[in-house]
Amino acid sequence: MRIAILGLPTSGKSTVFRSLTNQPGASAEEAVASVKVPDERIDKLSALYKPRKTIYASVEFLDLGAAAGMRKESSELGQRFLNAVRPAAALLHVLDGFSVPEAAAEAAAEAVQVIDTELGLADLAQVEKRLERLRKEGLKAVPAKQEAELLERVRAVLAEGRPLRSEPELARTEALRSFAFLSAKPMLTVLNTAEGSGEALLQALPAAVRAARQGVNGALLGMAGQLESEIAALPPEDARAFLADYGIAAPARERVLRAGYELLGLQSFFTVGEDEVRAWTLRKGGVAVEAAAEIHSDLARGFIKAEVVPWNTVLEHQGFEEARKAGKLRLEGKEYPVKDGDVISIKFNV
């Protein structure tokens, strides 16, 4: 899963990227780094199994250098930017709250306006291009007519200056998936402040900004980017002491990952064994056969049944097989709704 970082020039995108990944941000080239999602359930399962490999869920962050980003003189989004951002599952918009603290709220409001307008215009251009094409072809076939109707609904939302993410049902429509509309992507807004967690400044943001970014498909949080990027480079024990000194409850990386998971409606399930203890990511409400598909398409194709047990039951019984002997495993079919923290073993036949 990839989250693309965007924002106005020098808003602190690369600084936020470093605080999340402890890797250098974009220079001339874009930077991508993968971050493991901390999970104490995996820590505990791994301590029990002592497997050869322990694999955490991970999230990728993308920092597009200035070249692909927005230019100072013109806020228009370049083609390179659009191509790089389209495949992302979510967007992370960095707001500059540090350079002029006393004017940060207004600057943030303006930046939100600029970015949302640009994303909306990029989507609108796509919609119009496609509609024109469909019309040229005559709109005779039913699918073309249906697509045109759907695109008209999209256009109406965009024409009102609203991002598609504010219409979650429309944004999720299967028939629109291939457009990968930018304004439909879940949006995590990060206010990059000079110090602390930015709480006070967040409260000072105009209500309209908070509504635009905190509602459906949105989350808003603050972080001290510069400070967090220095903390991210420290050994874990030092980092913890540092955070405590500054009164920051959890490192920005953890808060962002948590918010991202929540925003994308994701949950984790696990597989365990001597060889490997591993976390997998699945949408909330996802069913057993989808969990199987995450692991391998063969498991989904040849799905027979899933053996399922909560992770803490595995710990209580000191193992999956031991939990089986104690009669704790449940047999579930393809349509079983997976729960966060389930340990799963798929039985299949291909």
Q: Name the residue whose CB lies closest to Mg ion.
A: 14
Closer Cβ to ligand GTP, 65 or 78, answer by number: 65
Q: Which does 226 bind (CB under 5 to 8 A by kind): Mg ion, ligand GTP, none?
A: ligand GTP
Q: What is the largest CA-CA distance in the chain?
A: 68
Residue 62 CB, shortest distance to ligand GTP, in Å, is 12
State the CB neighbour count (10 A cutoff) for residue 51. Answer: 16
**Cα 193 from Cα 203, distance rounded (Å):** 13
Q: Which does 192 bind (CB under 5 to 8 A by kind): Mg ion, ligand GTP, none?
A: ligand GTP
Q: Does 197 bind Mg ion (CB under 5 A)?
A: no
Long-range contacts of 172-179, Cβ-Cβ distance < 8 Å, separation of 24 or more: 175/146, 175/147, 175/150, 176/150, 179/123, 179/126, 179/127, 179/130
CB under 8 Å to 107, separation ≥6 — which residues? 95, 96, 97, 100
Contact 262, 340 (CB under 8 A): no
Closer Cβ to ligand GTP, 97 or 310, answer by number: 97
State the CB neighbour count (10 A cutoff) for residue 219. Answer: 21
Where does this chain bind ligand GTP (CB under 6 A)?
Answer: 7, 9-15, 25, 65-66, 69, 98, 192, 194, 224-226
User: Rounded to an integer, what is the distance from CA 338 to the centroid of its chain?
Assistant: 20
Closer Cβ to ligand GTP, 13 or 185, answer by number: 13
- How many residues bind Mg ion (CB under 5 A)? The answer is 2
Q: Does 14 bind Mg ion (CB under 5 A)?
A: yes
Closer Cβ to ligand GTP, 28 or 207, answer by number: 28
Q: Which does 10 bind (CB under 5 to 8 A by kind): ligand GTP, Mg ion, none?
A: ligand GTP
Closer Cβ to ligand GTP, 17 or 261, answer by number: 17
Radius of gyration of the chain (CA): 23
Q: Residues in the site for Mg ion, rule: CB under 5 A?
A: 13-14
